[in-house]
Amino acid sequence: MGKHFCGQEQSVQDIMEARDVRVRYHDYLLRGYKRTVISYKLNIPGPVKYSPLIKQIFDVGLSELNRKLDQAFVDIVHEKVWYKKSGPEYFAVVDVAAIPIKKLSTSIEEKHPLGRLFDFDIINSDGSQVSREKLGIGQRKCLLCKKGAFECGRSRRHDVDTLITHIRAMAFNYFRLYEEVI
């Protein structure tokens, strides 16, 4: 997979534990703030979820989110970033309804050159997650064949090495275009 995706491999159990911690943190934020929660991570297949390249991709998404929130005059009430072996994660509490935030985050996922790798979950103050379908937006597409991402992921239609090679090419093209250092 190359040096850019070198890192500590995570087991399925590691990934599930990270998910459980994330859900508990969502609950903590919802109980404490009773406002919209933004939860951001990356869609990176395979056992390596953190490396310098993965961090750089994540940071681009975080920067873009903050830029869009600033443009929309959204105040962040609370925020936290975790750089963990199970993958980088960002959480924010905002004092804006969930639907406009979901529209904002979905526009990043759809329009940014690396947006397909970004995964923004928006959670209402009542704990319910705002779906893309609720906005009338179809499900996310596979990185390779443009069928439904869930369908391809579930059936393991594409091998991890092919997906990682595609992600690496996306990232290299992006960083060369915008003259950022890898």
Distance CA 95, CA 130 (A): 16
Q: Tell me the per-residue pLDDT of 3-39, one tens digit each, with 9 for 90 and over.
A: 556 778 888 899 999 999 999 999 999 999 999 999 9
Residue 161 lies in a domain: no
Expressed as residue numbers, the domain containing 84 is 3-138
Q: Determine which helix (DSSP H) or strand (DSSP E) holds 97, and give its type and residue range.
A: none
The answer to the question of residue 145 being in a domain is no
In a domain, 179, yes or no: no
Q: What is the mean pLDDT of residues 125-139?
A: 91
Closest to 43 in 3D by CA, of 116, 99, 113:
116
Any idea what the CATH number is for the domain that residue 75 is in? 3.30.70.260
pTM of the prediction?
0.90
Buried b / exposed e across 98-130, counting CB within 10 Å, b at 16+? Answer: beebbebbbebbeebebbbbbbbbbbbbeeeeb
Whether residue 14 is contained in a domain is answered as yes
Is residue 144 a part of any domain in this protein? no
Domain membership flag for residue 170: no
Q: How many domains does one find in the chain?
A: 1
